Structure 1
């Protein structure tokens, strides 16, 4: 089963849709740089009103204002702050405390390292050391009761071969000093445009299959490819996927049916859009034969 989750990157009505998502028990996914750095503040009242709601946030990217604050706190120098991204241990500890304060949560449900591939400079081993050092900080935070689990939110780390799920598991075990680590999730794009993970999962390999085998939460991001897919998905393809659904719903159902995916992140811009997405995810999933047929139509186009 795949659950609907609220992604707040492109969400234009965070308080409205967050309230609907929290009331339905859905995950809410955010980051300190979303909504020009205001996403945490916009979400805090909803999280306070729904203390049982679950939220995943991130560390890595930051706004210019946050970067300046980090420089004043002496956890970043000016050159690193100017890049808008860091996973350095001192900065990461500082950002975790800031996330907790902004969200009003003593314990964060899930913290994802935000596009760690940004730390890749032609040296895969060096990137793995960055990840290992960051995981050590996250394990410390888990031991202190400040987070429940952590993971990686990547755009192309898996597809570029910079790391695998097995690599992440090994680095987490090394950081924790035991296999009882707190690596709990991966987030990556899966859509009718980014079909690679789906095709691999149908053949029983790739990041989705590997994550499922390790019982990791798998968050599929950008299932509508930044909102472009509903505009370019024709009625014939939508009917092939499931007659009676809108193009957006058909696209969402396809990714919700993908083996290994546990959370489908949708940046609904209004409560009606959230409800439309919820109807799609509640549909009976497509079987592997239909998924292969859809993929065949798309790859032969």
Structure 2
């Protein structure tokens, strides 16, 4: 199945407006986090989700919104001697899930552990953090408080802090064969081509996720917007001569083997219409992707 566009809310100034533009364009999945939009993203999405019950939503746990720190400390889930910016302890996860439920107005379909490698330099420390977090999320899933869970990372996979097979093994150890580990989220773009090159050679994170039947959410497909301005006429022609610069950049992520959804933080109907032009095109063939990789490098 070809990858689909989904709405990301990381860089959205007005999350509600962006969410409305996305669902009006036919988007069926919105991804957010408690710390986005200065801690207001989930609450801003609630009226959008209330009006579109079939739209699915994913959120995250990990980064502590500044607006929540006092409440978290008062609740005893964020000790004063802990990292005040990031926490994946079981009490904090349970507390944050309850707040996300209230703010979203519904149970999240997916909850991602947000950069579990944050502040950890040793693999054993990351593994211990992941184990406790997986235990809490499995408990939440069995209690029907979340639909499933995953890991959203910027550099955990590329740095070797953990691998997809290790995440799968941990999920099975914690939750058994019926575990609720469902998805991973990491950057896939013209800036992050190494993971695409690996997938074309049937190894690496995308290939491992595909083999494990995990959904892959590709983040930052436009490099935070920087890629659109950096797209030369020559590069656009190499990818698809009839595409716009944004469409050409998006096509790389949409065509990467194993990607399920490409997260786009677009705020206007015009931006979504342009993006849909990329989604409607035939995916780039492995041969074309290799040409792009050879031209740009990894």
Could you say which TM-score interval applies, normalised by the shorter chain?
over 0.9
| C-alpha distance in 2 between matches for 1:175 and 1:30 | 26
- The residue aligned with 1:142 is 141
For residue 295 of structure 2, give the secondary structure of its aligned residue in structure 1.
Answer: helix
The CA RMSD measured in Å over matched residues stands at 1.2
Question: Which moves more between the two structures, 32-41 or 15-24?
Answer: 15-24
> Which of 251, 260, 263 matches 2:261?
263
| C-alpha distance in 1 between matches for 2:179 and 2:141 | 9
| C-alpha distance in 2 between matches for 1:294 and 1:13 | 34
Instruction: Give 1:81 deviation, angstroms.
Output: 5.3
- The residue aligned with 1:13 is 14
Instruction: Give 1:5 deviation, angstroms.
Output: 0.4
8 A contact 2:5–2:27 mirrored in 1: no
- The residue aligned with 2:207 is 209
| C-alpha distance in 2 between matches for 1:20 and 1:55 | 15
For residue 186 of structure 1, give the secondary structure of its aligned residue in structure 2.
Answer: strand
For residue 241 of structure 2, give the secondary structure of its aligned residue in structure 1.
Answer: coil
Instruction: Give 1:239 deviation, angstroms.
Output: 1.3
- The residue aligned with 1:221 is 219
- The residue aligned with 1:64 is 66
- The residue aligned with 2:115 is 115
For residue 63 of structure 2, give the secondary structure of its aligned residue in structure 1.
Answer: coil
- The residue aligned with 2:34 is 32
**Cα deviations by residue, 1:106-160 (Å, 9 ceiling, x for unpaired):** x21000000001152x321121111011001000000111111100000000111
Instruction: Give 1:179 deviation, angstroms.
Output: 1.5
For residue 130 of structure 2, give the secondary structure of its aligned residue in structure 1.
Answer: helix
Instruction: Give 1:21 deviation, angstroms.
Output: 2.6
Instruction: Give 1:96 deviation, angstroms.
Output: 0.6
**Cα deviations by residue, 1:172-228 (Å, 9 ceiling, x for unpaired):** 11111x121000000000111111111111111111111011111100000111110
For residue 178 of structure 2, give the secondary structure of its aligned residue in structure 1.
Answer: coil
Instruction: Give 1:17 deviation, angstroms.
Output: 2.6
| C-alpha distance in 1 between matches for 2:195 and 2:294 | 14
Tell me if 1:288 matches 2:283: no
**Cα deviations by residue, 1:234-290 (Å, 9 ceiling, x for unpaired):** 011101111121111100011100000010011102121112111111111010000
Structure 2 gap segments, 5+ residues each: none
8 A contact 2:115–2:154 mirrored in 1: yes
How many residue pairs are counted as aligned between the two chains? 296
- The residue aligned with 1:48 is 50
| C-alpha distance in 2 between matches for 1:126 and 1:174 | 17
- The residue aligned with 1:129 is 128
8 A contact 1:3–1:26 mirrored in 2: no
